[in-house]
Amino acid sequence: MNNKQKYDQVFMESFSIDKSALDETLEYNTIQSWDSIGHMAMIAGIEEMFDIMMETDDIIDFGSYTKGFEMLAKYGIVF
Partner 1 sequence: MNFYEDLEKYYRNTAIITETSEQLSYKELLDAADNIGKQIKKRCLVFLVCKNCLESVVGYLGFMRVKAVPVMISDRIDNVFFANLIEVYKPDCIYLPTEKSGLEINCKTVYSYGSYSLLKTDYNIDYTLHEDLALLLTTSGSTGSPKLVRQSYRNINSNAEAISQYLGITNVDRPITTMPMSYSYGLSIINSHLFKGASIILNEAMIMERRFWEAIRNNNATTFGGVPYIYEMLKKLRFERMNLPSLKYITQAGGKLNLELSAEFADIYADKGIKFFVMYGQTEATSRMSYLPWDHARSKVGSMGIAIPGGSFWLEDENGNVIEENDIPGELVYMGENVTLGYAESCSDLCKGDENNGVLHTGDVAKRDADGFYFIVGRKKRFLKMFGNRVSLDEVEQLIKAAGYDCVCVGTDDNLRIYSTNLADKDRIRNYIEARTGIHKAGLFFMYIDKIPRNESGKVLYSELRQD
Choose one: 2-10, 19-27, 33-41, 71-79; the region binding partner 1 (CB under 8 A): 33-41
Q: Which of 2, 5, 20, 56 binds partner 1 (CB under 8 A)?
A: 56
Question: Residue 43: helix, strand or coil by DSSP?
Answer: helix
Q: Which of 38, 49, 50, 75 binds partner 1 (CB under 8 A)?
A: 38
- Work out whether 78 is an interface residue with partner 1 (CB under 8 A): no
CB-wise, 26 or 43, nearer to partner 1?
Answer: 43
Cα dihedral across residues 41, 42, 48, 49: positive or negative:
positive
Q: Which of 1, 24, 32, 76 binds partner 1 (CB under 8 A)?
A: 32
Q: Do residues 71 and 62 lie in contact, with contact meaning Cβ atoms separated by under 8 Å?
A: yes
Residues 6 or more apart from 31 whose CB is under 8 A from it? 15, 17, 21
